[in-house]
């Protein structure tokens, strides 16, 4: 049996993008990947959050940068991936966590909120996975993780969010 060595970084030399890295679970994933030795692009819609997360990873001894992107835009996702590759030379891991979760009764939900939720949670997950997979296929492989919330943990009154999470699970 091989002993675990805390001085080794299992993801040293790997490059990861985490979308939705500005807070919560996405932020924790970005920190975990950084602590494991990955070079991290912390992506979020909010540029202040991306810089804060990247700075915290750097302070902890990791390597990271922040990047503002709206995952519902194919052009912004392509820019995110290409900027990461330009900076670090490759892409090994994509963790797609960016999402929106409007709360409230579906009978009162605004059409804009409905469309935005579908665009970010479903279209954004698809675009991130598709564009990253194309790059990874050319580079010999990689790992794509689409983070979705299980239906049993979604609160009542979040029908649109729950629907997009089910659709996101279907992409995996």
Choose the weakest-confidence range: 5-9, 67-71, 77-81, 136-140: 5-9
| 161 part of the active site | yes
Indicate the average pLDDT of the chain: 91
- Which pLDDT score is estimated for 162? 83
The sign of the dihedral angle between the CA atoms of 16, 141, 77, 170 is negative
Secondary structure letter of residue 36 according to DSSP: T
CB contact at 8 A, 18 and 30: yes
3 by DSSP, 3-state: which?
A: coil
**pTM for this entry:** 0.91
User: What are the pLDDT digits (tens) for 95-152?
Assistant: 999 999 887 777 888 899 999 999 999 999 999 999 999 999 999 999 999 998 887 7
The active-site residue out of 161, 162, 164, 165 is: 161
- Which pLDDT score is estimated for 1? 43
20-30 residues labelled b (16+ CB within 10 A) or e (exposed): bbbeeebbebb
- Checking if the pLDDT of 164 tops 50, the result is yes
CB contact at 8 A, 26 and 97: yes
């Amino acid at each position: 049996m091989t002993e675990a060595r805390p001085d080794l970084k299992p993801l040293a030399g790997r490059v990861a993008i985490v979308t939705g890295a500005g807070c919560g679970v996405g932020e924790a994933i970005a920190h975990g990947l950084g602590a494991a030795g990955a070079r991290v692009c912390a992506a979020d819609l909010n540029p202040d959050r991306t810089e804060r997360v990247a700075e915290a990873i750097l302070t902890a001894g990791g390597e990271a940068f922040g990047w503002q992107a709206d995952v519902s835009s194919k052009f912004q996702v392509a820019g995110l991936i290409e900027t990461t590759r330009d900076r670090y030379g490759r892409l090994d891991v994509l963790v797609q966590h960016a999402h929106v979760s409007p709360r409230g009764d579906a009978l009162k939900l605004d059409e804009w909120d409905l469309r935005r939720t579908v665009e970010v949670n479903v279209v954004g997950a698809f675009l991130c996975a598709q564009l990253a997979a194309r790059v990874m296929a050319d580079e010999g492989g990689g790992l794509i993780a689409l983070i979705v919330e299980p239906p049993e943990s979604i609160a009542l009154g979040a029908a649109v969010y729950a629907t997009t999470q089910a659709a996101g699970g279907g992409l995996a």
